């Protein structure tokens, strides 16, 4: 007996901060289906520790927040997008507070912290270092109350459906039954998060495999600024364990970085020391590791006091203790790890992509708000602000559309077959090592040429349709990694998070251009989306 497939005018793919806020906007005018692969509490948003940046303190204002964001973005931010972020951010946070979000206070007032490259203390936090978790909790509590929102957990989105140049649905895999089916929609909103898992070392959870970027790319949407991958300077380094993020707030509260000789070294690299922008701190650590032939450096918070550390960083303290590291008494071994994608599916300031009917918000999207280097703690605010705006834009679009008839696409899906990928885990591991070694923190033309050649070969291996989440994730990782490597090869200068050892200078002719990629030589697959072809770098527009 075939399953009963729900119907809705709007489809939201992903359930982090951006997706949940978008769903709450959309449900005012129609039914919404929110698709989540795996468990709903496994999004990147849940793991965001440090806080959310917003100009709400007495010493701050939106103009200063705008200036700090533009400065961190190294001249490549879209100014209009940044203006939207900082001006609408306070209202979105106040709205979240009305919905029950509880941010930390001191003496009855919000306790604002400072992080790298912020000129004011503007970081709101919750439960010390569980800000993302608290924000998702508050949003979910609202979503649960809305009868117009249908949540489908453990449902993996395989591909977008395109009909006559319009995105009008998605092919979905039920992870429990293995069944694939098509969900039609007047508008589709991507909020599926980032792609940190394409690197061997990453702070991202295992499900951050770039699915939204890959499926949008296959459907014909453009990607922008894919070379800009932020590497967090301080992830816990333990050879037998995956990296665990050690919040930048630890340095904001006075933590020091020391090499294996015990020397505090950051003043040698930047006047702001440990509070320099993330890309500078990450490369400084990399240089110290190379100079001392070490696999890590140390983060020292022992001088801050045991009670303060336990109260301010309870999650980090407990996690490190499980690995037999008492951070109140011992230095913490740390090294850089891939953390955040500044690039993604190209959008305007309302979340509209270059593919009609498709909208995007959060880390999957590139609105231009981060430029070449994200200002710390702007990402959760971005999810709220642009999640709401993308939802509003999708409503306006859908008001002019009728529900699509996807009978033909369903027939293609029913008649088509699906393959299995030989040794998917081996390919996944090889890909992640290649990206870390060749397209990581320090890049060069030679390493990028090797990487793009290998990735092109792997892309041929994964060009067909697959039936399982594991195989589909590997396919997405290969395609997103190829886009990152191609964009990094194209940008022959160093700026922000993108560092080329062969082009260390930030300014060369055309340096203010943005990389834009799309798929060429497209063919249509059984779900109606386009696949195959080659990565095509477009001549990009100047920054605005």
pLDDT at 115: 82
Token pair in block for residue 290: 């190379």
Helix extents (H) in 405-467: 407-415, 424-438, 445-461
Q: How far apart are CA 386 and CA 351, in angstroms?
A: 7
Q: Which of 234, 425, 256 is CA-nearest to residue 316?
A: 234
- Note whether 385 and 84 are within 8 A (CB): yes
**What's the confidence (pLDDT) of residue 248?**
82
CB 490 within 8 A of CB 537: yes
Query: pLDDT for 157-207, tens place per residue?
Result: 999 999 999 999 999 999 999 999 999 999 999 999 999 999 999 999 999
CA distance 12 to 419: 27
Does this model's pTM top 0.85? My answer is yes
Residue 132, pLDDT score: 87
Pairwise pLDDT comparison (277 vs 426), residue with the higher score = 426
Burial of 75 (0-12, 13-18, 19+ CB in 10 A): middle
384 vs 279, higher pLDDT: 384
In this prediction, residues 396-417 reach a mean pLDDT of: 89
**Mean pLDDT over each residue of the chain, to the nearest integer:** 91
In terms of C-beta distances under 8 Å and separation of at least 24 residues, what long-range contacts does 284-292 make, across chains too?
284/233, 284/257, 285/233, 285/234, 285/257, 285/334, 285/335, 285/336, 286/336, 286/441, 286/442, 288/259, 289/335, 291/259, 292/259, 292/260, 292/261
Q: How far apart are CA 15 and CA 154, in angstroms?
A: 12
- 64 vs 68: CA distance, rounded Å: 6
Range(s) of the chain covered by CATH 3.90.700.10? 237-337
417-508 is classed CATH 1.20.58.100: yes
Q: Distance between CA 297 and CA 294 in Å, rounded?
A: 7
SS3 call for 48: coil
Encode pLDDT of 222-271 as tens digits. 999 999 999 999 999 998 777 888 988 899 899 999 999 999 999 999 99
Distance CA 315, CA 112 (A): 19
Residue spans in the chain of domains classed CATH 1.20.58.100: 417-508
User: Which residues contact residue 71 at a Cβ distance below 8 angstroms, ignoring those fewer than 6 apart?
Assistant: 117
Q: Is the pLDDT score of 383 beyond 50?
A: yes
Site of tokens 């931010």: 77
HSE-CB for 64 with a 13 A CA cutoff: 15
* Cα–Cα distance, 163 to 344 (Å, whole number): 23
Tally of helices (H runs) and strands (E runs) in the chain: 14, 23
**Which pLDDT score, from 0 to 100, does residue 117 have?**
81
Whether the pLDDT of residue 46 is over 70: the answer is: no
HSE-CB at 450 with a 13 A cutoff on CA atoms is 12
C-alpha 15/C-alpha 91 separation (Å) is 21
How confident is the model over 391-407, as a mean pLDDT? Answer: 95
- Give the separation between CA 205 and CA 487, rounded to whole angstroms: 24
Residue 541 pLDDT? 44
Please give the structure tokens belonging to residue 164: 């006559």
Where do the DSSP E strands lie in 123-199? 123-124, 149-153, 155-163, 166-174, 180-184, 187-190
Active-site residue numbers? 278
Name the DSSP class of 113. B
CA 117 to chain centre: 20
User: Quick one: CA dihedral 365, 369, 373, 377, positive or negative?
Assistant: negative
Write the CATH number of the domain with boundaries 237-337: 3.90.700.10
Residue 543 has pLDDT above 60, yes or no: no
Residue 526 has pLDDT above 60, yes or no: no
Q: Say if CB 491 and CB 445 are below 8 A apart.
A: no
CA–CA separation, 300 and 525 (whole Å): 53
pLDDT in tens, 292-339: 999 999 999 999 999 999 999 998 999 999 999 999 999 999 999 999
User: Which pLDDT value is given to residue 94?
Assistant: 97
């Amino acid at each position: 007996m075939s399953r009963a497939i729900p119907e809705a005018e709007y489809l939201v793919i992903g359930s982090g901060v951006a997706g949940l806020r978008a769903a709450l906007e959309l449900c005012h005018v129609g039914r919404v289906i929110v698709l989540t692969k795996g468990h709903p509490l496994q999004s990147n948003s849940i793991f965001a520790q440090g806080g959310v940046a917003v100009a709400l303190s007495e010493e701050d204002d939106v103009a200063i927040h705008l200036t700090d964001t533009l400065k961190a973005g190294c001249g490549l931010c879209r100014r209009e997008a940044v203006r939207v972020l900082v001006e609408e951010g306070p209202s979105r946070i106040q709205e979240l507070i009305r919905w029950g979000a509880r941010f930390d206070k001191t003496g009855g007032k919000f306790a604002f912290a400072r992080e790298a490259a912020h000129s004011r203390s503007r970081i709101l936090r919750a439960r010390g270092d569980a800000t993302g978790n608290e924000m998702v909790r508050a949003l979910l509590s609202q979503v649960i109350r809305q009868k117009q929102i249908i949540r489908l957990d453990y449902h993996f989105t395989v591909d977008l459906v395109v009909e006559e140049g319009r995105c009008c649905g998605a092919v979905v895999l039920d992870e429990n039954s293995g069944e694939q089916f098509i969900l039609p929609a007047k508008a589709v909103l991507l909020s599926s998060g980032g792609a940190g898992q394409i690197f061997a070392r990453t702070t991202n959870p295992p499900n951050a495999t770039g699915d939204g970027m890959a499926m949008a790319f296959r459907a014909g949407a453009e990607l922008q600024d894919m070379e800009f991958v932020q590497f967090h300077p301080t992830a816990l380094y333990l050879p037998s364990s995956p990296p665990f993020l050690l919040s930048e707030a630890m340095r904001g509260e006075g933590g020091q970085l020391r090499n294996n000789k015990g020397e505090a070294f950051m003043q040698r690299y930047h006047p702001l020391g440990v509070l320099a922008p993330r890309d500078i701190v990450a490369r400084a650590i990399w240089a110290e590791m190379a100079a001392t032939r070490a696999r890590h450096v140390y983060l020292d918070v022992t001088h801050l006091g045991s009670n303060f550390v336990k109260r301010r960083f309870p999650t980090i303290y407990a996690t490190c203790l499980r690995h037999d590291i008492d951070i109140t008494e011992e230095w913490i071994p740390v090294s850089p790890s891939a953390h955040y994608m500044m690039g993604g599916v190209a959008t305007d300031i309302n979340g509209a992509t270059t593919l009609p009917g498709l909208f995007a918000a959060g880390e999957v999207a590139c609105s231009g708000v981060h430029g070449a280097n994200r200002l710390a703690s702007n990402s959760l605010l971005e999810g709220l602000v642009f999640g709401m705006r993308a939802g509003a834009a999708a409503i306006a679009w859908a008001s002019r559309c009728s529900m699509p008839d996807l009978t033909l696409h369903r027939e293609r899906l029913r008649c088509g077959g699906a393959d299995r990928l030989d040794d998917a885990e081996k390919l996944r591991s090889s890909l992640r090592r290649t990206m870390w070694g060749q397209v990581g923190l320090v890049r060069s033309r030679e390493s990028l040429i090797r990487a793009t050649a290998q990735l092109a070969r792997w892309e041929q291996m994964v060009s067909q349709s697959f039936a399982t989440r594991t195989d589909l994730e590997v396919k997405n990782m290969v395609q997103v990694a190829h886009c990152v490597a191609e964009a990094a090869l194209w940008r022959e200068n160093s700026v922000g998070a993108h560092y080329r050892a062969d082009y260390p200078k930030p300014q060369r002719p055309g340096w203010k251009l943005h990389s834009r990629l799309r798929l060429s030589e497209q063919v249509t697959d059984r779900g109606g989306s386009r696949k195959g072809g080659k990565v095509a770098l477009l001549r990009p527009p100047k920054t605005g």
